[in-house]
Amino acid sequence: MAKNIPVIDTEACIACGNCEAVCPGVFRLNESLGHSEVINPTGAPEDQIQIAIDQCPAQCISWQEAAD
Ligand code: SF4
């Protein structure tokens, strides 16, 4: 079954760090690159990831269907 995974539009990310604060097992702010990264797309329940998506001030995190 296909899973949904979060992806970050790194061009739009303003590196606020909120996604890491909400889901530290999924997102990490990479200060040298100046944006956050997905370190483990299944590192938190989807509900928790959805909170990070909803709170992202740049609205640059979205769900993408993962290939099997
Ligand atoms: S919450 Fe959004 S803008 Fe902030 S670091 Fe995460 S992806 Fe970037």
pTM above 0.85, yes or no: yes
The predicted structure's pLDDT at residue 68: 67
- What are 14-23's pLDDT values in tens digits? 999 999 999 9
User: What is the token pair recorded at 3?
Assistant: 């899973």
Q: Which domains does the chain have, with CATH numbers?
A: 4-65 (3.30.70.20)
Determine if ligand 1 sits within 6 Å of the CB of residue 19: yes
Q: Ligand 1 atom 4: the closest Cα is on which residue?
A: 16
Mean pLDDT rounded to a whole number for the chain: 95
Burial of 2 (0-12, 13-18, 19+ CB in 10 A): exposed
Q: What is the mean pLDDT of residues 18-37?
A: 98
Q: What is the rounded CA–CA span in Å between residue 26 and residue 37?
A: 8
> Is 61's C-beta closer than 6 angstroms to any atom of ligand 1?
yes
